A and B are shown apart, each in its own frame.
Chain A
Amino acid sequence: MKIKMPRWFYQLASPKWFYDITGMLLPWFGLAAILLLLVGSIWGLVFAPADYQQGNSFRIIYIHVPSSILAQSCYMMMAIAGAVGLIWKMKIAHVVAGACAPIGASIAVMSLATGAVWGKPTWGAWWVWDARLTAMLVLLFLYIGVIALNSAFENKASSDKATAILSLVGLVNIPIIKYSVEWWNTLHQPATFTVTEKPAMPPEMWIPLLVMVLGFYCFFAVVLMIRARIEVLEREKRSDWVKKVIENYGR
């Protein structure tokens, strides 16, 4: 059996091509992120109606849910990029995976912190050793482990390999986070949004939330591209094209 990968997939492996294309995309994603986050947060925090039960404290959902979703997506991206790097020996994939870890860790901290702030007024506790909350904490520790492992080696090739394997092993945590609220009795409520059913929330509440989620993804893309571009320059510093980029930079 022979699987043929599309052309852009191999183009992506070229550091110069990656550097150029991300340089082109970066301003657009930046603009989209600023617009979406601005519109989403004002809409969600000011104009969306308050909840019948939780009042205004439910509004933290507009930060908590996007950051929780993104922390998990970022992990999946890191693991998949790591797998691509292992299978095709593609350096760019490892660069992207390495850039994901610190971003994901900060977003996971954000998700846990906003969750605690939300938990105090509604549940009556900052933290409970509930399956969902604990699995999310494990995700944060996985990110920290990946970051630590990534900087533990002198040799880039071995640190790339080790972190890719660790992030692939940790991938098992993602479905646990998602289904924890269904498999076990938890204090955390089940998902409001599912693929099969309509949301348990009126549109005037979920549209700003959707805007925020998109804004978070764009913001993630921006930070990821910035970090990956710097790492590419660092790794390719001996090549001619990087020398040219640096020469042009001063002008």
Chain B
Amino acid sequence: MTPKRQKRLSVILGLVFGTAVIVGLVMFSLSENINLFYSTSQIAKGEAPVGARIRAGGMVVENSVERSKDSLKVIFELTDCEEEVTVEFTGILPDLFREGQGIIAQGVMDNKGLFQADEVLAKHDENYMPPEAAESMKDKMGNCEAMKGKQEKAE
């Protein structure tokens, strides 16, 4: 490479790294706003604003779903395996909603400590498997243990 080309190469590398640093800093300072949802421990610790519309994310606790007999109202517990938050929702739940499933609820935390959701989205994970394989794996561990195991592996 001629000196001229090397100079142009370094200018381009400088441009790319420069933008990366700037965008990185902006993203870092905005990271709280980029997060789509608050975890249930963040809500339980009071890090999430009360009275404002927020999203809460977590796993539906097993055997916690209570459906009202005469309306579409559902009450269930949401957990991130540390703290639990009770969610109240009236409406049609997504197909993937079930106990042990990760979900994201959008709504407002009321002053009684109840999360009033007006939208519930189901979150699915990156694991795919045929039904037979899932059946044989199911009994081996509950969802919280599976999640913890994964976190430990990641660390």
Contacts and interface: CB of A to CB of B under 8 A. Distances in A.
Interface of A: 1-5, 49-54, 58, 61, 83, 86-88, 121-125, 128-131, 165, 168-169, 171-172, 175-176, 183-187, 189-192, 200-202, 204-205
B9 interface: yes
Contacts, number: 128
B122 A123 contact: yes
Contacts of B23: 172, 176
A1 B38 CA distance: 52
B120 A122 contact: no
Contacts of A1: 6
Interface of B: 1, 5-6, 8-9, 12, 15-16, 19-20, 23, 27, 31, 34-39, 57, 93-96, 104, 119-131, 133-135
A81 to B, nearest CB: 12
Given A50-B131, A125-B121, A176 B35 contact: no
Nearest to A131: B34
Contact of A169 (B1, B19, B27): B19
A46 to B, nearest CB: 14
Nearest to B13: A83
Given A124-B121, A168-B15, A185 B128 contact: no
A202 B121 contact: no
28 contacts: A2-B1, A3-B1, A52-B130, A122-B95, A123-B123, A123-B124, A124-B93, A124-B119, A125-B121, A128-B36, A129-B36, A130-B36, A131-B34, A165-B15, A169-B16, A172-B16, A172-B23, A183-B27, A184-B35, A185-B35, A185-B36, A185-B39, A189-B124, A192-B127, A200-B125, A201-B128, A201-B129, A202-B129
